[in-house]
Structure 1
Amino acid sequence: MSLYDDAVLVLKEYGDQEELRQVYLEHLETHPDGLWKACADGHITASALVLDPVRGRVLLTLHRKLRMWLQMGGHCEPGDATLAAAALREGAEESGIPGLTLLPGGPVRLDRHHTPCAWHLDVQYAALAPAGAVEAISDESLDLRWFAYDEVADVADESVVRLVAATRARV
């Protein structure tokens, strides 16, 4: 199965945010290249909120280009077999934490937002950090920091706050 086929399947099976889900599916239907950064009309991205439920906290990155506290995530790459694999790869690369595992049940949320390169149609997953995980800042980050659930609203925008709430509801 191709990454494109996986993305369509994941979105068809996603049971929430019906209107936005349809936007994503229509985008892929009209843009066979809609998973790739080169698609100027926008592209599917994958992200992972790194979670430490034992300590009640999430790891956010201060994004180098956007200068915002966000979950880990970014563009799909040719080596990604699935959207889940892309989210897990992005989570590990940007957090520096090996051994992340995605929460079961597929994506937690969808979020469409404009970035300097194009519209991002983000498929958002949540990843559990292993016990004793130590983060390491990547080239894409200015900083990495753990935030208690109730601190996220003080540092991040509403999309991240909604993602944290949806993730907590699933855990």
Structure 2
Amino acid sequence: MPLAPGQAVLRDEYLGFVLGSPEAALERHGGPEHVTGSCFVFTPDLAQVLLCFHKKGRFWVQLGGHVEAADGSVVDTALREAREECGIDDLDPVGGGILDLDRHNLGDGFSCRTHWDVGFAAIARPEAAPVASDESDDVAWWPVDALPQNVPPQFALRLAGVLAELGHRQRATH
């Protein structure tokens, strides 16, 4: 789990939410709030992040989406969604588990009210060419220190937190 203090508080809230209604929490149509899985896809040097321009939200964001019945876990959801949304099949998971938790409310264009997002990370080959899916208008690489203007509130902080977690975990394994 992420080390940041705010993430620890969210972790406890997530556990309460999921344990309170385990099936509904993971079910897209189980209620107005549910768990989603997302994947921050980076270049091997962690200098660029792959973002999609979300059709409904009209903003640049990491890849991810709803848990499906065939997904064995939320990390499986995150990686499946990332592959579907960017067209890159060989993503290499990195970080060894959950790197980010973010509960956020959604706008009027969405069928649900709140996503309890669980974030993971993966590395893509530098020569891999992303291709947008039906769910997004575009998918593109962005420098981690020069994000587009139209990202969700707090997105830059989330990204910085993921990068800090990756750095901490890399140092801990060496």
Normalising by structure 2, what TM-score?
A: 0.84
Q: 2:84 is matched by which residue type in structure 1?
A: E
Equivalent-residue separation in structure 2 for 1:78 and 1:49 (angstroms):
22
4+ residue segments displaced more than 6 Å: none
Contact 1:42 1:120 in 2 (8 A): yes
Contact 1:14 1:106 in 2 (8 A): no
- 1:131-158 deviations in Å (ceiling 9; x for gaps): 3111011000011111111111634234
Normalising by structure 1, what TM-score?
A: 0.85
SS of match in other structure, 1:164:
helix
Equivalent-residue separation in structure 2 for 1:88 and 1:155 (angstroms):
24
Match of 1:59 in 2: 50
* Equivalent residues in 2 for 1:7-46, closer than 5 Å: 15-16=3-4, 17-32=7-22, 33-46=24-37
Equivalent-residue separation in structure 1 for 2:31 and 2:147 (angstroms):
31
Unaligned segments of structure 2, at least 5 residues = 168-174
Q: Offset of 1:67 from its aligned partner?
A: 0.6
Contact 1:91 1:127 in 2 (8 A): no
Q: CA RMSD in A?
A: 1.8
Of residues 58-67 and 18-27 in structure 1, the stretch that sits farther from structure 2 once superposed is: 18-27
Unaligned segments of structure 1, at least 5 residues = 1-12
